[in-house]
Amino acid sequence: MDEVLVAEDVRRRYGDTVALDGVSLSAAAGEVLALVGPNGAGKTTLVRALTGTTDAEGRVELFGESPRDVDRSRIGLLPQSFDPHERLSARELVAYYAGLYDETRDVDAVLSDVGLTDSAQTYYENLSGGQQRRTCVATALINDPDLLVLDEPTTGIDPAGRQALWDLLSGLSDRGVTIVVTTHYMEEAQQLADRVGLLADGRLAALDSPTRLVAEHGGDSQLIVDGDFDETTPDRIDYPARTVLRNGRLVVYGVRPESIGQVVAELDAAGVGYDSLTWKEPDLEDVYLELTGTGVGRGGDPRSEEATAGGVR
Ligand SMILES: Nc1ncnc2c1ncn2[C@@H]1O[C@H](COP(=O)(O)OP(=O)(O)OP(=O)(O)O)[C@@H](O)[C@H]1O
């Protein structure tokens, strides 16, 4: 397979802070590589090292060239912080970026791709946060890049807009565009990525397909019980499986669907009331939890585990 991007032993320090501690990875043509990890794990620094927007030790090549020598028209970059001129309309901004390249896509077609046709004439400062982010995504797409590097493209975008952007990115990768994307949304990484790199403390803790990551690190299926619990609740449940309190919910591991009735009977027997039950197979969020020791809220915000109790009995 043709490697579009190769990084070997990439290192970056800021004073005493080690932001990247020897990261090696590659991405092939048409591959979607998602980078996930807690705040401060090094995702943005890696994106910057890969695109030559910060200095780093180690080897990085894009299309066989160093990031600073590669033909910029082949790369689309969306930085995490991007503050364009506010008194330009979305259309004027995208047209401005189009002016930086010899050949580009049609400005209105790109605005349509990111769902901004109706707001094209609105000043950037008057767009909602999600619409501003879509405008920024459009500036990364305007040169019809072969490699798209997006640092948290969907942050602030509503669920329908996010899904539309994922569909757009999937279509681009089907056409052979390589995509490197950072995200705090595990469902995004699971749905979109061919491979997911999990960064923790400047190192790649894992790099594999979502399916293999879940098989290797996801653990057991879970019955999630919502209700009003405290740290003593797991010990009151006499069910022969690991039961923990996680983010205020009871999580019973290793329950098969046919055994849910037994858990319900145990909750009743222990006098533990509950509001709802959800059964699920392990997913990428569980991998994240396992490898980083921190939870990711369904809304995408990383947060610590409140407490774990119980244990295998
Ligand atoms: N310009 C800088 N000067 C000093 N330290 C920096 C700089 N940029 C990043 N760092 C530090 O490097 C580490 C990695 O930061 P980075 O922004 O790459 O993390 P991240 O995974 O992108 O985080 P987030 O999820 O919050 O965006 C952090 O400890 C951060 O404080």
Interval 238-296: pLDDT, tens: 877 889 898 899 999 989 889 999 999 999 998 999 999 999 999 999 999 899 876 54
pLDDT at residue 295, rounded to an integer: 52
Q: What is the DSSP letter of 65?
A: B
CATH topology of domain 220-281: Alpha-Beta Plaits (3.30.70)
Does the domain at 3-215 match CATH 3.40.50.20? Answer given as no
For residue 258, how far is its CA from the centre of ligand 1 (angstroms)? 46
Beta carbons within 8 Å of 211's beta carbon, 6+ residues apart: none
List helix spans (H) across the chain.
Answer: 43-50, 90-98, 107-113, 129-141, 159-174, 186-192, 210-217, 233-236, 260-269, 284-292
**What is the percentage of the chain residues whose pLDDT exceeds 90?**
73
How far apart CA 181 and CA 44 sit, in angstroms, is 10
Say if ligand 1 is within 6 A of residue 197 CB. Answer: no
Per-residue pLDDT reduced to its tens digit, 226-238: 999 988 898 888 8
Using the structure block, give the residue that is written with the tokens 């396992």: 290
Amino acid residing at 149? V
Beta carbons within 8 Å of 273's beta carbon, 6+ residues apart: 227, 228, 267
Query: pTM to 2 decimals?
Result: 0.86
Say if ligand 1 is within 6 A of residue 17 CB. Answer: yes
For residue 254, how far is its CA from the centre of ligand 1 (angstroms)? 37
Q: Domain coordinates of the chain in residue numbers?
A: 3-215, 220-281
Amino acid residing at 137? V
Are the folds of 3-215 and 220-281 the same? no
Query: For ligand 1, what atom is nearest to the CA of residue 48?
Result: 18
* Mean pLDDT of the region 218-224: 92
List helix spans (H) across 51-158.
Answer: 90-98, 107-113, 129-141
Query: For ligand 1, what atom is nearest to the CA of residue 46?
Result: 18
Per-residue pLDDT reduced to its tens digit, 47-93: 999 999 999 999 999 999 999 999 999 999 999 888 888 889 999 99
Say if ligand 1 is within 6 A of residue 42 CB. Answer: yes
Closest CA to ligand 1's atom 25: 39
pLDDT at 159 over 50: yes
For residue 40, how far is its CA from the centre of ligand 1 (angstroms)? 5
Could you tell me which residue, 81 or 199, shows the higher pLDDT?
A: 199
Q: What is the DSSP letter of 158?
A: -
